[in-house]
């Protein structure tokens, strides 16, 4: 455990540090971010915000067996696997950082919610885990009229930063997030895009992406699912890698402009009021309607409530486009790849034999 912990934990000491003007440089306070759930969607924004405020950002390891086992042990039994994994990631960070950032993401769009489990996440963590550092669980609720800036300002104030610093950090962070989104739209996965931003070597990576695309031009498969289901290779048995190895390029919602998903999802007769659900359905509608793909695979976590409904919408759309093969994979705690490999191989075989 780090010695500076006690200093950062106490608000008054933190204040003292700031106003003492002491010549001794205080070590930076650290904030842990679990590499799970909306990390895949927002990490550059969060990281950049905290770093601009002068904090050290500590990220948990990529999901591994220990994280999975810890998560399954500590989280409530009937929650979805991605949330269980988040518990494991939090536990890995718990004694390494001064704060944990687990925002309460109620609504990130004016007309939509995230998911009930994301909304209750900080409470679940507090209820089930004893020894965790203070949670920065700032509420983000656009639907209630709270602007992202207001939420970030509250977060910054909790850390005793000035309005000016917070404003500047927020602007920087938004800019970073924008760069991240644009990089993904060039065909990069979130981790590839983060890598590109870090090394400022986007050209090399995007050209690698397009090279991969030409090399694998034989087949093009669309993956539909929440970012944490698609991009956590441990959770989905390296699905994306597997598809690429088997000679297919992969396209996801993150690689499309958001406007496409909005437009496509609005064709559904009622409004879909879950942000990620709307993206999934919008992407599926797009891929089935002239999205130029050879097949569509959806990836759903076994106990996901919203996806059990949305999966049906996607299936219905697949029904109407029988020329584009569709398969749904249900993810759970299995640790053996056989099931996923068999299904993916058979799916690609089917497409290839059909094309002959």
Partner 1 sequence: MKGYLGIDVGSVTTKMVVINEENEVIADNYLRTGGNPVKVVQDGLKDIEGRLDQAMPMEAVGTTGSGRYLAATLVGADIIKNEITAHAVAASYFIPQVQTVFEIGGQDSKIIIIRDQVVVDFAMNTVCAAGTGSFLDHQAARLNLPIEEFGEYALRAHNPARIAGRCTVFAETDMVHKQQTGHNREDIIAGLCQALVRNYLNNVAKGKELLPPFVFQGGVAANRGIKAAFESELEQEVTVPPHYVLMGAIGVAILAREETALRGEKTRFKSFEVAEADYRTSSFQCSDCPNSCEVVQLSLNDEPLSRWGSRCRKWEV
- Of 67, 86, 105, 280, which one interacts with partner 1 (CB under 8 A)? 67
Q: Does 334 bind partner 1 (CB under 8 A)?
A: yes
Residues contacting residue 123 through CB under 8 Å, at least 6 positions apart: none
- In the complex, the smallest distance separating the C-beta of residue 223 from partner 1, rounded to whole angstroms, is 18
- Of 20, 64, 162, 308, which one interacts with partner 1 (CB under 8 A)? 64
* Cα dihedral across residues 152, 57, 93, 197: positive or negative: positive
- In the complex, the smallest distance separating the C-beta of residue 85 from partner 1, rounded to whole angstroms, is 13
Q: How many residues bind partner 1 (CB under 8 A)?
A: 29
Residues contacting residue 74 through CB under 8 Å, at least 6 positions apart: 87, 88, 91, 128, 129
- In the complex, the smallest distance separating the C-beta of residue 347 from partner 1, rounded to whole angstroms, is 8
Q: Is 339 helix (H, G, I), strand (E, B) or coil?
A: helix
Residue (113 or 287) nearer to partner 1, CB? 287
Is the separation of the CB atoms in 42 and 58 below 8 Å? no
Other beta carbons within 10 angstroms of residue 222's beta carbon come to 25
Task: Record the tokens describing residue 322, joined without a space.
Answer: 């029988």
Residue (234 or 268) nearer to partner 1, CB? 234
Residue window 267-306: x/- pattern of binding to partner 1, with contact defined by CB under 8 A: -----------------------------------x----
- In the complex, the smallest distance separating the C-beta of residue 354 from partner 1, rounded to whole angstroms, is 5
- Of 74, 213, 234, 313, which one interacts with partner 1 (CB under 8 A)? 234
User: How far apart, in whole angstroms, are the C-alpha atoms of residue 309 and residue 314?
Assistant: 9
Q: Does 321 bind partner 1 (CB under 8 A)?
A: no
* Cα dihedral across residues 203, 208, 214, 218: positive or negative: negative
């Amino acid at each position: 455990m780090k010695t500076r912990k006690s200093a950062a934990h106490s608000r008054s000491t933190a204040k003292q540090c700031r106003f003492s003007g002491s010549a001794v440089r205080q070590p930076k306070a650290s904030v842990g971010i679990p590499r799970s759930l909306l990390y895949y969607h927002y990490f550059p924004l969060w990281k950049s915000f905290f770093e601009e405020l002068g904090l050290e950002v500590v990220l948990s390891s990529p999901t591994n067996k220990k994280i999975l086992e810890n998560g399954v042990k500590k989280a409530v039994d009937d929650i979805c696997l991605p949330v269980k994994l988040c518990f494991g990631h939090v536990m890995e960070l718990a004694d390494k950082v001064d704060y944990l950032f687990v925002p309460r993401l109620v609504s990130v769009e004016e007309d939509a919610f995230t998911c009930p489990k994301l909304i209750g996440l900080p409470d679940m963590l507090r209820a089930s885990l004893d020894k965790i550092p203070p949670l920065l669980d700032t509420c983000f609720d656009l639907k209630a009229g709270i602007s992202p800036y207001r939420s970030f300002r509250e977060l910054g104030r909790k850390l005793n930063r000035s309005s000016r610093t917070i404003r500047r950090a927020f602007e920087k962070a938004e800019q970073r997030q924008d760069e991240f989104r644009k990089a993904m739209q060039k065909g990069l996965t979130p981790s590839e895009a983060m890598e590109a931003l870090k090394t400022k070597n986007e050209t090399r990576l995007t050209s690698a992406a397009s090279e991969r695309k030409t090399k694998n031009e034989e087949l093009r498969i669309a993956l539909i699912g929440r970012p944490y289901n698609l991009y956590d290779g441990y959770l989905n048995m390296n699905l994306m890698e597997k598809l690429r190895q088997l000679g297919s390029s992969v396209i996801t919602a993150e690689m499309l402009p958001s406007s496409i998903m909005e437009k496509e999802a609005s064709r559904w007769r009622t409004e879909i009021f879950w942000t990620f659900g709307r993206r999934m359905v919008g992407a599926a509608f797009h891929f089935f309607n002239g999205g130029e793909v050879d097949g569509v695979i959806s990836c759903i976590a076994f106990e996901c409530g919203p996806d059990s409904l949305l999966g049906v919408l996607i299936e219905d759309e697949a029904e109407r486009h029988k020329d584009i093969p569709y398969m749904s994979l249900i993810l759970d705690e299995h640790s053996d790849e056989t099931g996923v490999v068999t299904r993916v191989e058979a799916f690609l075989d089917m497409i290839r034999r059909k094309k002959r």
